[in-house]
Amino acid sequence: MAQYFFDTSAIVKYYHREARSPAVESIFAQADRKIRISSLGFLEIQSAFAMKVRSGTLARDAAGMPRARLLLDVAAGEIEIYKMTDLHFVTAQRLIGQHAFASRLRTLDALPRIAIDFG
């Protein structure tokens, strides 16, 4: 079974059409796959929809639709919300200290890597 851990920018592409949406859609179309997002990412995704309204890329009256689809996909088991623990954050902090000066490893990018390792 293929396993994927989506960050916010990736999962939003599934719910609102933008560049690289077809790549994300092809993952969702796979029969034998598991898609995870972090509990923090779950909150971030909903904030991203609001940001799209503020930026004018999503109409306010249409903003509830992607959020509702997300909630339905979680309820149906299409997406698993991975609960982050203190250990995830401590380990992400260590990774950032070791790698962020030489590469573009940001806070929320470090957490999915940790969740995959511990998942």
pLDDT tens per residue, range 82-119: 888 888 888 888 989 998 899 888 777 777 655 554 44
pLDDT, residue 112, reads: 60
On whether the CB atoms of residues 40 and 108 are closer than 8 A, the answer is yes
Residue range 18-48, pLDDT digits in tens: 989 999 999 999 999 999 998 888 999 989 9
Domains of the chain as residue ranges with CATH: 1-83 (3.40.50.1010), 84-119 (no CATH)
Q: What is the pLDDT of residues 55-65, one digit of tens each?
A: 999 999 998 99
Terminus-to-terminus CA distance in the chain, angstroms?
A: 14
In what helix (H) or strand (E) does residue 31 lie, and over which residues does it extend? Answer: none
Nearby residues of 1 by Cβ (< 8 Å), 6 or more positions away: 32, 33, 34
- pLDDT bracket for residue 8 (50, 70, 90): confident
